[in-house]
């Protein structure tokens, strides 16, 4: 049975409630050396704001994770990824939680990417003010955010990709890309599973223009991605095939790591390491991410 627009809205409601539960047993977002809800576009939209968190100086590594949240392109905001940021902060990483306005059925997928690029420009112009000027950077993302992170990090590495996608990307000292349960083959992923009205809700008016969607698919440019790459998934991840496809297509690449969790625990499902960070499986993934980044920045 195909999922329609109503089913998409039910999924949005369920996942929103699930993400909010992840805040339990964590300190408030302003309990750290943090700046929260910084507007990068002055239009009053909560989606056009972002957070900056600095690790404690006692173990600060001066490596900043630029993280992009998921949400099926239709919901979510940077606040939902705070538990994940908290875990990374404790490990000594600075964290910036980026944001973008989700699709309402009227936006083009390009608009979501454009928001993230504007967020990165606002951040780049204030690195010294935020005490991030001496940091190296890692781009991170989960699910739809993993798709955005993969493509933007590739555009940062290759001018031809930036031109093809019309993304005005800023230059950062990017050392690696880390994605959890990412959307990889974006142009073909939803077709066959969703009704036309659900596809339009997710992808916008050009939902059926495969050639256009391929322009914004990470798979199209994966040969241009040369940074160290970390990918995680699990046997209960409904997008596991996307991660495995990505792993096959970069097989043999130096500094590539796939963590594919096998477990009977069905809670260790899609992006569990972001939304349910206290699960043993989530701890395994996030510790592997920390080890991976430490190895990269210490070389």
pLDDT score of 223 more than 50 = yes
* Section 34-45 average pLDDT: 96
* Domain, as residue range, for 205: 5-297
Strand arrangement of the beta sheet that strand 256-261 belongs to:
33-39, 49-54, 94-98, 63-68, 136-142, 174-180, 229-234, 256-261
Residue located via tokens 């073909």: 188
Sign of CA dihedral 14, 20, 24, 26: positive
Q: 228: which residues sit within 8 A by CB, 6+ positions away?
A: 175, 176, 177, 254, 255, 256, 292, 296
Arithmetic mean of pLDDT, 163-182: 97
What's the token pair of residue 72? Answer: 């099926």
Average pLDDT over residues 206-219: 95
Q: What is the pLDDT of residues 246-260, one digit of tens each?
A: 999 998 888 999 999
User: Structurally, how many domains does the chain consist of?
Assistant: 1
Q: What is the pLDDT of residue 91?
A: 97
Give the tens place of pLDDT for each residue, 121-158: 999 999 999 999 999 999 999 999 999 999 999 999 99
15 confidence band (pLDDT: 50, 70, 90): low
* Mean of pLDDT over the chain: 91
pLDDT at 13 > cutoff 60: no
The CATH number of whichever domain residue 214 belongs to comes to 3.40.50.1820
- For the stretch 71-118, pLDDT in tens is 999 999 999 999 999 999 999 999 999 999 999 999 999 999 999 999
């Amino acid at each position: 049975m195909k999922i329609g627009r109503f089913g998409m809205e039910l999924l949005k409601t369920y996942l929103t409630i699930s993400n909010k539960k992840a805040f339990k047993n964590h300190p408030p977002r302003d309990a750290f050396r943090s700046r929260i809800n910084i507007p990068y576009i002055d239009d009053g939209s909560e989606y056009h704001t972002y957070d900056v968190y600095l690790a404690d100086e006692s173990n600060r590594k001066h490596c900043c994770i630029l993280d992009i949240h998921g949400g099926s392109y239709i919901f979510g905001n940077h606040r939902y990824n705070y538990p994940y940021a908290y875990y990374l902060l404790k490990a000594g990483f600075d964290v910036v939680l980026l944001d973008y306005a989700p699709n309402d059925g009227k936006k083009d997928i390009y608009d979501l990417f454009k928001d993230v690029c504007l967020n990165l420009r606002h951040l780049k112009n204030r690195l010294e003010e935020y005490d991030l000027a001496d940091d190296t950077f890692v781009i991170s993302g989960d699910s739809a955010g993993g798709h955005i992170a993969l493509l933007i990090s590739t555009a940062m590495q290759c001018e031809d990709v930036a031109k093809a996608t019309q993304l005005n990307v800023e230059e950062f000292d990017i050392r690696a890309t880390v994605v959890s349960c990412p959307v990889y083959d974006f142009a073909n992923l939803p077709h066959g599973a969703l009704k036309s009205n659900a596809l339009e809700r997710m992808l916008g008016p050009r939902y059926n223009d495969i050639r256009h969607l391929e322009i914004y698919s990470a798979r199209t440019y994966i040969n241009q991605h040369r940074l160290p790459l970390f990918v995680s998934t699990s046997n209960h991840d409904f997008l596991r095939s996307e991660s495995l496809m990505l792993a096959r297509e970069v097989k043999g690449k130096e500094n590539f790591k796939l963590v594919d969790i096998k477990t009977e625990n069905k809670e260790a499902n899609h992006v569990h390491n972001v939304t349910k960070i206290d699960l043993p499986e989530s701890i395994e993934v996030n510790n592997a991410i920390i080890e991976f980044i430490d190895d990269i920045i210490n070389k």
